[in-house]
Structures are given as C-alpha cells and as structure tokens.
Chains A and B, each alone.
Chain A
Amino acid sequence: MSDTDALVARGIGKSFAAAKGSPEVLALDEVSIEVGTGAISALVGPDGAGKTTLLRLAAGLMVADAGTMIVLGIDPARDPQAVQDRISYMPQRFGLYDDLSVQENLDLYADLHGVSREARRTRYTRLMEMTDLGRFTARPAGKLSGGMKQKLGLACTLVRSPELLLLDEPTVGVDPLSRRELWDIVEQLVREENLSVLVSTSYMDEAARCARVTILHEGRVLAAGTPESIRGTAAGLCFAVTPPAGQAARHVQAALLDDCGIVDAVPRGGRVRVVCTKEATARDDSLPAPLAGKDAAAVEPSLEDGVMLALRAKVHRDFATAAAVGTSTARPPKGDGKVIEVTDLVRRFGDFTAVDRTSFSVDRGEIFGLLGPNGAGKTTTFRMLCGLLPASSGSLRVAGYDLRRARARARQEIGYVSQKFALYGNLSVDENLTFFGGAYGLHGARLRDRMASVKAQFDLDAAARTPAGQLPGGFRQRLAMAAALLHEPEILFLDEPTSGADPLARREFWRRITALAEGGTTAVVTTHFMEEAEYCDRVVIQDEGKVLALGTPADIRRQAGERPQAQLDMEQAFIAIVQQHRKAERGSGQAAA
C-alpha cells in the first residue's frame, strides 16, 4: 500500500444469511478501493449496492469473509478499537439522542473522544459557524429539521479532527440547499485540516466533486477512477436533443430510450440528454443514426453519462416492454378538465403547520410532481389528496368529489402506491392481486380479466405464484403499481417511488409513468430527486409547508432566473427559488420590525 492512502481494500467479499431457506446474499464481491489522504473519495450506488457494508467493514463493525482491508495502517477486523479511536463515522441514520440538546449531543461526543476544554472552545465556535447551529444549541436534537439534524450529526463526528472520516449517505432526503452546505463544510475541512474522507452517495453531482469515485452495483465495482476518467469514457457519445415545438421533452426522451442504439436518454433543462452507443456513433461528423433528422448537438459528457455507459454494458434492460403499459390501459378519457383542485389547503399538527395555504390543480392525463426535501410538507399534502388525512381547512376536490363529503367515492377513483412496500410479503402475486381486487369490489370474471390485464402490463406473469416478499425491488414496485391500477382509477398517486432505486430502475419507472399518462391516467408523484421534475408536465415546489413555485419545469427555471446564456438544472433552480423566498421573508421580517 502507498503511504498516501488512508484506506486500502483489496478483493473484499461479504455475504449475509438471508431469510431461512433462501441462499446467502452476496453484499460485496471482489471489491477493491483506495481512499487517498487529504481528499474525498466517493462510493456511488443505489440501495443494496453494498456501500453501507463496505463502510461498516472499514469502521470495524463487521468482518469481511474475504480480502484484506487496511485502515490507517491497521486491519480493522483484527484491532477494531485501534481504528475506532482514530476515525469518525457517521452512519446513515446518525445516532443523535433526540432528548438531548444540540450542545449536549456535541458534549457527549467530545467527552468520548477526550477533547480538552480549551480545544473544545475553539472547535465548537468553528463548528457552530460552519453549521449555522449556533442559534439552536439549547434545542433538543429531535426538534431540528432534517437538514439541521444531518449537520449536527456531522458536527458530532468532527468534535475533533479525525484521521479518516466515513460518511454513509449524509445527504439522503436532505434539501438541495442543506446538501450544498454539508458539502461545503466537508470540503473546507479537507482543505484546512487535510482530512481524508470516504463518503457514500446516490447523487452523481456529489460524486463529481470527489477526487476518486468507485461505482458499486449489486456488490461489484462497476467503474472506478477519477470523475474525469469515468466521464471520459463517454466522450464523443453525448448529445442534447431539442424537442420540436409543442412537444414535451419526455415524449422525445421516451422514444429515444426505446432505441437500441441509445445507452441513455433523460430530459434535462427542456432538452433531452442522450448517450449513444459506440457502434451508433462510429460514423464521423454526422449525427448518430438514432438521432438522424433531429435537432441535436454534441455536448460534454457528465459523470452520470460515464456511469450509465458502464451500467448498460453490464445490465441488459429493455425499456420498450415498460412502454407496453400505456397502450393496454388506453380508454376514452372521461372528459377534459381538472381532476384535482386544491384551494387554500392547510394542515396543522398541534401548533406546527405542516401545509400552509396551498392551492393548485391537476389536469386529466397530466404527470404532476410534488417536489421538496423531507419535512417540506409533500407527504402531508399527498396524504390529504388520497383522503388518508383530513385537512385542517381549505377545500379539496379529487376526481370530481369533495373529499370532505364523499371520501369513499373519491377513493374508488384513485390508486395509491406508498413509499414502503405495502403488500403482503407471504402472499403470492396472484393472491395479493385477488385480495386488493376484492378490496376494491372486483369479483368473478371482471376480477380475472383485470388481473390478467395488469399482469400482462407489468410483466408479472412469470412471477404469479412467487410470494411477494421474495421478489426483487423492481418487481415489487411493479406489483404495487399493478395492485393500485386493478380498479382502473383515474388518478395514480405514487409516494417517493424512485427513492433508493438504481438509475435503470428509475428510468424504467418513468418510462411506465409516461406511457400511463399517454393512456389517460393522471399521475401524481412525490420525489426528492429534483432532476426528475423534468419528467413531469407541471410541478409544485414546497418548502416548510409553503408553495414556492408552481408550473412547468421551464416555468420554474425561468422563475429561478434562467436566461438563454445561463441554463439552470432543476436543482439549481430549486436552490435559487428557496434563496429568493428566504430573502423575501427576511426582507418582510425587517420591514415589519
């Protein structure tokens, strides 16, 4: 190993005993990584890729089945305490004590690390300045917002300067503004204290800020190197396609994604970002075959483009089957107009206002997005729309029914896919569908027809007898959607459907939703991935219970101050809008004072 590496892992293997009877799950297989001293390295991958397992192995909290791991010159399997004395680790659910105040949490970790009184004074001042928690030192940690909790968690691991900092998805579910602030803190410490950091993330933009990136997929290393080297693999393959006037980017994107000459296509900034296969781009100068006749221009590759290239080389996925969903549910729309109308919606929990005077409407056949960080009020809004939570005040019409009066009838017209898997794990696919069909009042031939139809739509026929609990993640989501569509609802509600999913599964999901919307079903989706707003016809951005912006993705970007010469992505637009809003709040606050 070289002297400049804080952590070196070679050929790490780790498997877990899964449920009784089923084979062991290989969490890590032949994984090798290095973490350079004085730099940030990233582990990138979806849920279940093996990121947390690798970090726990490095922290001496688990022992590998194979391979060698050296952390700061020590084998963490042999002498975990020696490693734990010198590193800091922030687990995904950071263990803050909710009953203890911000100060008490910090003091606990300072005491455990043996930080002296004098050292503490200067360190605390600095941490408070960086995290902006100085005003809240007496507040119990349980009463902090999601972003502030993460910052306090980070501060607790930084009560002293560790020789290696391990961060497990420190920004998951955190709003883009707090996310940026957390990264600024870490980067500042790397510069000033020569901190070595290994961070896991599912965000590509975060990985792009690191010195070294290891992409994990299903326990294996998909790609590793500097962000530049991974990005470089897609050089010359990337294009931006401008959709013809009057056509939404997602329609063009959907068609391109089905093409076998195309590795990846995503809507970005009103255009479609495309990565072509090497075969398709082999011809010089002219556009690749799949883009012929389109308004396309070559663009610089991004890290995500490089990752998608590596991913598609390993994993075969046919997006065209996902598109089949639309044609089979096609039915005559029950007239145009608004299927959801929300006016001055308010929901209070005690003295806390989770949703504050929110108004918007959704048209038939629209894909409507609710965007915002954890705690923004999107889940509360969502639950009220589904009739799961009564509103404190305001009016709510869903599918033509007033939710205050005809909640049961409105429910007949909606399908709901919750964030957690809400089907019965020990019932088979068929049994689950029969049960949910019965719950919606379907029986006999009608139920059989509908079951056959949704199974065909969601490609579930092969798994009909498999217990739902044993299905892989992507299958489960398809089953959940199939169950929610059995009674042919007008509106499908999906709560955080792409959270923790891998990039391919996310694209496949949006491909299905696009197809469904073409068939006339309205889809309302919550997400904390800002770039997914581009798949929506219109979105509402919420923060702290208030609507900050409402409109098409292009409207939102314009509202955020986008100009033709300075394009914004949705994330930048979100940050700009939140900052505008906070500045306005402060302005009015000062005016009042």
Chain B
Amino acid sequence: MNAAGPDRRGAFLRRLAALVRKEVKQLLRDRSNLMMGIALPVVLILIFGYGLSFDVKNAPLAVVMEDTSPAANDLVAGMRLSPYLDPRPVHDMPQAERLMLDREVNGILRIPPDFSRRLTLGDAHLQLILHGADANTARTVQGYVQSALQAAGTREDSIGSVRLEQRLWFNEANTSTWFLVPGLVVLITTLVGAFLTALVMAREWERGTLEALFVTPVRPVEILLAKIIPYFGVGLIGLAMCLLAARFLFRVPIEGSLLLILLVSVFYLFVALGIGLLISAVTKNQFTASQVALIVSFMPALMLSGFIYDLRNMPLVVQGVGRALPATYFLQTLKSLFLAGNLWPMVLKNCAILLGYAVVLLAAARAKTRKRVG
C-alpha cells in the first residue's frame, strides 16, 4: 500500500496536468471564452467607471420668482455658485410646470411674494417640488437645495437659524465611483467564476466530451480541479484589472490592506467557482446553465448584495435573500477595506462565512459531478 502512495499521486498529477493543459489550450483558442473572461470585465470597468454614475451635477431647477426682492435674488445667486445646481429663473408657476413635465428641470423652487417680508421675521417659507420619477436623483437634489439655502441663511444674521453641517464619512466627495468599484470587483469575479465556469463545464456535458472522458482512469475530482485551476487564473486577471483600474483610473483610495483585499477575493472566487461547477453539474446544458448562473449569481450580486440598493431599505424577505448571498459579505468586506480600513472583526467574520460557502459549494459540486450519464 505504501509503495502505491507516491505512484498514485504521480498518476493523479499526470492526469491533472494533462487536463489543465487541455483546458488552457481550449481557453486560449476559443474566442468566446476570452471575450467573456477578459474583454467583458474591461467593458464593465469602463461602463461602471465612466458611463454609470449616481452623482448629480448641474441639476436644472426652475425657480419661480414671485418675489423679486434683493434677498430672493441673493438666494438664487447663491445657488448658482453651487456646482450641483443650475437654477433657471421663470416668471410663473405654469411655465415652471411645463418645464417639469418636459423633464427640462428636476425640480421647481417657488419663492412666494411674501418671502423677503417674512424672512425678516425669521419665518420665511419656500416651496420645493421635485420630479419623483427618479427617486434617487430627487433626494440628491433635495439635499443640494437644502445645503444651498443653509449657506444663504447663514449669511443673514437671522435669529434662531440653525447651522446644519453635513459630512459624508468615508466618501467625503460622495463620488459614486468610489463605492461602485468594490461592486465591480464582485460582479467581475462572479462573472468569471460562476457564469463562465458554468458555461464551459456545461459545454462538456452537452457535447458528450465528458462521457468519453469518464471511461478512463480519470477521477471526478481531477476533472473539477482542471476546471478550477485555469478559471481561478482568469478570475485573478479580472481582479487585477479591477484593482489597477481602481487605483490608477478612478483613484479610489485603498484604506485597508491590499493583502486582505486579495485574500477575501480569493475566497469569494472559490465560492463563485463552486456555484458555477454546481450549476453545470445539475443542469448539464449550456443554455440552462447560463440562465441559472445569471439568475442565481450575477443578477442577485448586482441587485441584492447592497451594491446598488442598500439592503436595509428592503422588505424583510428580500433582506433575508440578500443576507444569504455570499456576494453580500464579499461586497461589505471590500467596501470597508477600500474606503474605511481594516475593520478586523467584520473582515474575519465575513472571511469565515465566505470560506464556509466555498467549502460547502465545492463539496456539493464534487458530490453532483459523478461519472454517470443519462
């Protein structure tokens, strides 16, 4: 038995090397794999970095000047200084409403005729109407208007006026690329790990190549490892591209340790590979595998991980789904490592959760990948 040990390991390594060589050659020769593994991440980086932004700049705002006093004019002038607002004075409400309906403006600020009189009494009222179709933009504009008014108000020596100073922690300038980049890392790792891997493995089931491979001394674990190794590599390339883009293209600060970022990404990559291999072993069909991978990994990572929408604002059931997603923990960890620094308790807890997911999913993929057909 002892003599058989190294022998068996030799055979295992020889077969694994042969399968990995085959996988790498196929990866390099099949253009669609390369497109999805390398080109798509680049496109995503560019879209998310440049095309997609939740920032609102120069938001057009109709200002109905029912009061033409110097105080009202000062107010509008103050808003004009803000880089976030673009006030457009109009004469009456109907005109403002038309602009709003045509979506020429994001909101209407009405300065009533008694504005300056009541301002001296410390009891001035303004009406702000926002276009609610895009709630995110509406809220952002509301914030800008309030702070612009605040700024105007502080210049007056009005009695009882309260100074409200807003500060955004961890993202002082509120630049959305800063929190988009960690999300991008999650998306790209999911794409390569789960989606691409599910596709290439399902292709082998579908084309019948596995049936021939099964009736050789090859072991299922070797087949799985031979898929994991090259696609782990592709995942790392995607990750490296994201990190380089984050640092040099978008200038996202990396407050925490780079090593920790790499470590948690590796854990998540294993989770994604486990999802991909499990999906392909169950569906055994490229089309179904790609649909399932999209629905169970990519879409939730986009919508429910807290990437775009804050989980805490969601209904309890959806929150539950979000909390069950490995992507949520990966994103949470990445966000804090990028923007806040090494929050050890959270990082350790999330790493443990991700590692647990990886072990369970890979074990399930192994259990489901049996040398059986039909």
Known contacts A80-B371, A81-B219, A85-B217; decide if A104 and B211 are in contact (CB<8 Å): no
Give the Cβ gap from B200 to chain A, nearest Cβ, in Å. 11
**Complex formed: what's the CA distance from A278 to B321 in Å?**
73
Q: Provide the residues of chain B in CB contact with A59, threshold 8 Å.
A: 214-215
Q: Does A91 sit within 8 A of B, measured CB to CB?
A: yes
**Is the pair A94, B30 in contact by a Cβ cutoff of 8 Å?**
no
Give the Cβ gap from B360 to chain A, nearest Cβ, in Å. 25
**Complex formed: what's the CA distance from A87 to B210 in Å?**
16
- A73-107 to B contact mask, C-beta < 8 Å, 1/0: 00000001100110111111111110110001001
Known contacts A61-B374, A84-B216, A99-B25; decide if A111 and B17 are in contact (CB<8 Å): yes
**Is the pair B214, A61 in contact by a Cβ cutoff of 8 Å?**
yes
Q: Tell me the nearest residue of chain B to A105, going by C-beta.
A: B22
Q: Does B162 sit within 8 A of A, measured CB to CB?
A: no
**Is the pair B374, A62 in contact by a Cβ cutoff of 8 Å?**
yes
Q: Tell me the nearest residue of chain A to B219, going by C-beta.
A: A81
**Is the pair A61, B22 in contact by a Cβ cutoff of 8 Å?**
no
Q: Provide the residues of chain B in CB contact with A104, threshold 8 Å.
A: 22, 25
**Complex formed: what's the CA distance from A88 to B214 in Å?**
10
| Choice from A90, A93, A100, A113 contacting B26 with Cβ under 8 Å | A100
**Complex formed: what's the CA distance from A477 to B209 in Å?**
31
- B19-36 to A contact mask, C-beta < 8 Å, 1/0: 101100110011000000
Give the Cβ gap from B207 to chain A, nearest Cβ, in Å. 7
Known contacts A104-B22, A104-B25; decide if A113 and B207 are in contact (CB<8 Å): no
Interface size class of B (residues with CB under 8 A): 20 to 34
**Complex formed: what's the CA distance from A152 to B373 in Å?**
23
Known contacts A61-B373, A95-B207; decide if A89 and B15 are in contact (CB<8 Å): no
Which B236-291 residues sit within 8 Å CB-CB of chain A?
Answer: none
Q: Provide the residues of chain B in CB contact with A87, threshold 8 Å.
A: 215
| Choice from A89, A91, A97, A156 contacting B22 with Cβ under 8 Å | A97
Q: Provide the residues of chain B in CB contact with A53, threshold 8 Å.
A: 374
Give the Cβ gap from A306 to chain B, nearest Cβ, in Å. 31
Give the Cβ gap from A98 to chain B, nearest Cβ, in Å. 8
Q: Does A11 sit within 8 A of B, measured CB to CB?
A: no
Q: Does A114 sit within 8 A of B, measured CB to CB?
A: yes
| Choice from B18, B204, B215 contacting A61 with Cβ under 8 Å | B215
**Complex formed: what's the CA distance from A519 to B29 in Å?**
55
**Is the pair B374, A113 in contact by a Cβ cutoff of 8 Å?**
no
Q: Does B132 sit within 8 A of A, measured CB to CB?
A: no
Q: Provide the residues of chain B in CB contact with A166, threshold 8 Å.
A: 215
Give the Cβ gap from B8 to chain A, nearest Cβ, in Å. 11
Which B1-21 residues sit within 8 Å CB-CB of chain A?
Answer: 11, 14-15, 17-19, 21
| Choice from A60, A95, A100, A153 contacting B371 with Cβ under 8 Å | A60
Q: Does A338 sit within 8 A of B, measured CB to CB?
A: no
Q: Does A297 sit within 8 A of B, measured CB to CB?
A: no
Q: Tell me the nearest residue of chain A to B33, going by C-beta.
A: A99
Q: Does A56 sit within 8 A of B, measured CB to CB?
A: yes
Q: Does A260 sit within 8 A of B, measured CB to CB?
A: no
Q: Provide the residues of chain B in CB contact with A436, threshold 8 Å.
A: none
- A148-184 to B contact mask, C-beta < 8 Å, 1/0: 0000010011000000001000000000000000000
Q: Does B372 sit within 8 A of A, measured CB to CB?
A: yes
**Is the pair B14, A99 in contact by a Cβ cutoff of 8 Å?**
no
Q: Does A292 sit within 8 A of B, measured CB to CB?
A: no
Q: Provide the residues of chain B in CB contact with A153, threshold 8 Å.
A: 212
Q: Tally the A-B contacts, defined by beta carbons under 8 Å.
A: 92
Which A105-124 residues sit within 8 Å CB-CB of chain B?
Answer: 107-109, 111-114
Known contacts A62-B373, A97-B22; decide if A112 and B214 are in contact (CB<8 Å): no
**Complex formed: what's the CA distance from A531 to B284 in Å?**
38
- B192-219 to A contact mask, C-beta < 8 Å, 1/0: 0000000000001001111111111111
Q: Provide the residues of chain B in CB contact with A112, threshold 8 Å.
A: 15, 18-19, 213, 216-218
Q: Does A421 sit within 8 A of B, measured CB to CB?
A: no
Q: Provide the residues of chain A in CB contact with B29, threshold 8 Å.
A: 99, 140
Q: Does A16 sit within 8 A of B, measured CB to CB?
A: yes
**Is the pair B18, A108 in contact by a Cβ cutoff of 8 Å?**
yes
Give the Cβ gap from B241 to chain A, nearest Cβ, in Å. 25
Interface size class of A (residues with CB under 8 A): 35 or more
B15, B22, B29, B215 pick with most chain A CB within 10 angstroms: B215
Q: Provide the residues of chain B in CB contact with A61, threshold 8 Å.
A: 211, 214-215, 371-374
Q: Provide the residues of chain B in CB contact with A94, threshold 8 Å.
A: 208, 212
**Complex formed: what's the CA distance from A506 to B372 in Å?**
33
Q: Provide the residues of chain B in CB contact with A60, threshold 8 Å.
A: 215, 371
Q: Tell me the nearest residue of chain B to A16, going by C-beta.
A: B374
Give the Cβ gap from A2 to chain B, nearest Cβ, in Å. 24
Which A33-64 residues sit within 8 Å CB-CB of chain B?
Answer: 53, 56, 59-63
Q: Provide the residues of chain A in CB contact with B19, threshold 8 Å.
A: 108, 112
- B29-65 to A contact mask, C-beta < 8 Å, 1/0: 1100000000000000000000000000000000000
**Complex formed: what's the CA distance from A8 to B309 in Å?**
63
**Complex formed: what's the CA distance from A153 to B207 in Å?**
14
Q: Provide the residues of chain A in CB contact with B215, threshold 8 Å.
A: 59-61, 84, 87-89, 166
**Is the pair A84, B26 in contact by a Cβ cutoff of 8 Å?**
no
**Is the pair A95, B373 in contact by a Cβ cutoff of 8 Å?**
no
**Complex formed: what's the CA distance from A93 to B212 in Å?**
9
**Is the pair A100, B22 in contact by a Cβ cutoff of 8 Å?**
yes
Known contacts A81-B219, A84-B217, A108-B18; decide if A156 and B373 are in contact (CB<8 Å): no
Give the Cβ gap from B372 to chain A, nearest Cβ, in Å. 6
B17, B25, B29, B216 pick with most chain A CB within 10 angstroms: B216
**Is the pair A93, B17 in contact by a Cβ cutoff of 8 Å?**
no
Q: Provide the residues of chain A in CB contact with B214, threshold 8 Å.
A: 59, 61, 84
**Complex formed: what's the CA distance from A547 to B371 in Å?**
45
**Complex formed: what's the CA distance from A354 to B18 in Å?**
36
**Is the pair A114, B217 in contact by a Cβ cutoff of 8 Å?**
yes
Q: Provide the residues of chain A in CB contact with B374, threshold 8 Å.
A: 16, 53, 56, 61-62
**Is the pair A113, B373 in contact by a Cβ cutoff of 8 Å?**
no
| Choice from B25, B213, B217 contacting A95 with Cβ under 8 Å | B213
Q: Provide the residues of chain B in CB contact with A85, threshold 8 Å.
A: 217
| Choice from A80, A91, A113, A140 contacting B212 with Cβ under 8 Å | A91
**Complex formed: what's the CA distance from A90 to B213 in Å?**
10
**Is the pair B14, A114 in contact by a Cβ cutoff of 8 Å?**
yes
Give the Cβ gap from B268 to chain A, nearest Cβ, in Å. 29
Which B84-138 residues sit within 8 Å CB-CB of chain A?
Answer: none
Q: Provide the residues of chain B in CB contact with A100, threshold 8 Å.
A: 22, 25-26
Give the Cβ gap from A591 to chain B, nearest Cβ, in Å. 39
Give the Cβ gap from B296 to chain A, nearest Cβ, in Å. 23
Give the Cβ gap from A288 to chain B, nearest Cβ, in Å. 46
Q: Provide the residues of chain B in CB contact with A81, threshold 8 Å.
A: 217, 219, 371
**Is the pair B209, A96 in contact by a Cβ cutoff of 8 Å?**
yes
**Complex formed: what's the CA distance from A107 to B18 in Å?**
8
| Choice from B17, B22, B210, B217 contacting A113 with Cβ under 8 Å | B217
Q: Provide the residues of chain B in CB contact with A157, threshold 8 Å.
A: 212
**Complex formed: what's the CA distance from A112 to B216 in Å?**
7
Q: Provide the residues of chain B in CB contact with A113, threshold 8 Å.
A: 216-217
Known contacts A95-B210, A100-B25; decide if A111 and B14 are in contact (CB<8 Å): yes
Q: Provide the residues of chain A in CB contact with B15, threshold 8 Å.
A: 111-112, 114
Q: Provide the residues of chain A in CB contact with B371, threshold 8 Å.
A: 60-61, 80-81, 84
**Is the pair A99, B30 in contact by a Cβ cutoff of 8 Å?**
yes
Q: Tell me the nearest residue of chain B to A157, going by C-beta.
A: B212
Q: Tell me the nearest residue of chain B to A168, going by C-beta.
A: B211
Q: Tell me the nearest residue of chain A to B217, going by C-beta.
A: A85
**Complex formed: what's the CA distance from A80 to B215 in Å?**
9
**Is the pair B14, A97 in contact by a Cβ cutoff of 8 Å?**
no
**Is the pair A111, B26 in contact by a Cβ cutoff of 8 Å?**
no
Q: Identify 9 residue pairs between A and B in the complex whose beta-carbon atoms are under 8 Å apart, listed by A's number.
A: A62-B372, A81-B219, A91-B212, A93-B207, A95-B211, A99-B25, A100-B22, A112-B15, A112-B213
Besides the known contacts A104-B22, A112-B216, 9 further A-B residue pairs in the complex with CB atoms under 8 A apart:
A62-B374, A80-B371, A95-B210, A95-B213, A97-B209, A109-B216, A112-B15, A113-B216, A166-B215
Please list the 9 inter-chain residue pairs (A to B) with the smallest Cβ-Cβ separation, ordered nearest first.
A95-B209, A111-B18, A95-B212, A89-B215, A93-B208, A99-B29, A112-B216, A91-B211, A85-B217
